[in-house]
Copies of this chain bind each other. A is one copy, B any other.
Amino acid sequence: MDLQPQQVLRLRIPLEDFIAMGPGKATLLEAILETGSISAAGRRLGMSYRKAWQLVDQMNHCFTSPVVTAMTGGVGGGGARVTELGLEALRQYRALETRAWEAIQPGLGAFSRLLQQP
């Protein structure tokens, strides 16, 4: 089997009734980082602006301080910036994924021997 981490593992970090961070939110943060805009990030991920904004709002309420700040005004009408805390949360989340993925490698190899060979 030639599996990718995202095919096998999903990590969701809950805080009370919300998901503070998960695969969708991490990907959205990365897209905001690259596009500098919540709406452009949402478009890239096939997500409405409303949905993208909701996810950002949930994250902003889960962390000790906002992970994304909106910049209003200026040429182009604003944009959005991933904060230092947002970068740190993203880095730590991806590191958790990697750590879990590495930990299951030997067991995954053994498990695959129980499966039909494609």
A: residues with CB less than 8 A from B are: 1, 3, 7-16, 20-21, 61-64, 85, 88-89, 92-93, 95-96, 99-100, 102-104, 107-108, 110-112, 114-116, 118
Closest 4 CB pairs of A and B: A103-B103, A100-B100, A10-B10, A96-B107
Contacts of A104 in B (CB 8 A): 11, 96, 99-100, 103
Q: How far is the CB of A90 from chain B (nearest CB, A)?
A: 10
Residue of chain B at shortest CB distance from A7:
B14
Contacts of A12 in B (CB 8 A): 7-8, 10
- 7 inter-chain pairs at a CB distance below 8 angstroms, sorted by A residue, are A10-B10, A11-B104, A62-B116, A64-B115, A96-B108, A100-B104, A102-B103
Q: How far is the CB of A93 from chain B (nearest CB, A)?
A: 7
